[in-house]
Amino acid sequence: MTILFFLFITRAVMAQEFVKSNEFKILKDNIQKKDFVSAWQVAQLHADDYLGDADFDFLYGISALNNYNVELAVFAFERVVANKPQWLDAQYYLAKSYLMMKNYQATMQLCDALVSHPSLPKELVSATNNLKKTAQMRLEKQSLYYQQQFSAVLGYDSNLNAGVDEDNIFLPFLGANVLLDDASKENSDNYLSLFYLLSGSKTLTQKSKLLFFTQTNVHQFMNETDYNRITIEGSLSYLQQFNYFDASVGVSLKPLWFSGDYYRTQASFNTGIKKYINKQWVVSGDLSLGQTQNDVNDYLDTDDLSLSVTGQYFIGNWRHSASVSYLEQESQLMQSQHNSSTSNTFNFNSLWLFDKKWLLSTSLSWQRQTYGGLHPYYLTQQVDDFFMFTSMLQFKVSDAWSYRLNANIQDRDSNLSLFSYQRIDIGLTASFDF
Residues 265 and 195 in one domain: yes
Among candidate residues 111, 141, 171, the one where a domain is terminated:
141
Residues 201 and 342 in one domain: yes
Q: Which of 98-107, 163-172, 192-201, 330-339 has the highest mean pLDDT?
A: 192-201
Q: What is the pLDDT of residues 205-247, one digit of tens each?
A: 878 999 999 999 999 999 999 999 999 999 999 999 998 899 9
Distance between CA atoms of 119 and 129, rounded to whole angstroms? 15
Residues 276 and 343 in one domain: yes
Residues 136 and 148 in one domain: no
Domain that holds residue 97: 2-141
Q: What is the pLDDT of residues 375-413, one digit of tens each?
A: 887 888 999 999 999 999 999 999 899 999 999 999 999
Among candidate residues 94, 116, 141, the one where a domain is terminated:
141
The beta strand positions in 158-260, using DSSP E, are 168-171, 176-179, 189-205, 208-221, 229-241, 246-258
Q: What pLDDT does residue 20 have? A: 78
Q: How confident is the model at residue 101 (pLDDT cuts 50, 70, 90)?
A: confident
Task: Indicate the angle between helix axes 88-100 and 122-141, nearest 10 degrees.
Answer: 20
Q: Would you say residue 310 has pLDDT above 90?
A: yes
Q: What pLDDT does residue 307 have? A: 97
Q: How confident is the model at residue 2 (pLDDT cuts 50, 70, 90)?
A: very low
Residues 132 and 150 in one domain: no
Q: What pLDDT does residue 379 have? A: 84
Q: What is the pLDDT of residues 117-140, one digit of tens each?
A: 888 888 888 899 999 999 888 887
What's the mean pLDDT in 368-377? 89
* Contact status, residue 384 vs residue 414, Cβ threshold 8 Å: yes
Query: In angstroms, how far is CA 409 from the centroid of its own chain?
Result: 22
Instruction: Look over the chain and give the mean of its residue pLDDT values, rounded to a whole number.
Output: 89
Q: Would you say residue 16 has pLDDT above 60?
A: no
Lowest mean pLDDT among 192-201, 237-246, 266-275, 371-380: 371-380
Q: How many domains does the chain have?
A: 2
Residues 425 and 287 in one domain: yes
For residue 115, give the CATH number of its domain: 1.25.40.10
Q: What pLDDT does residue 140 have? A: 74
Residues 148 and 137 in one domain: no
Q: How confident is the model at residue 12 (pLDDT cuts 50, 70, 90)?
A: very low
Q: Would you say residue 4 has pLDDT above 70?
A: no
Q: What is the β-pairing status of strands 302-315 and 176-179?
A: unpaired
Collect contacts of 182-187 with beta carbons under 8 A, ≥24 apart: 184/418, 186/158, 186/159, 186/161, 186/421, 187/159, 187/160, 187/161, 187/163, 187/224, 187/227
- Sorted by sequence, the CB contacts under 8 Å of residue 413 that are 6+ apart come out as 384, 385, 386, 387, 420
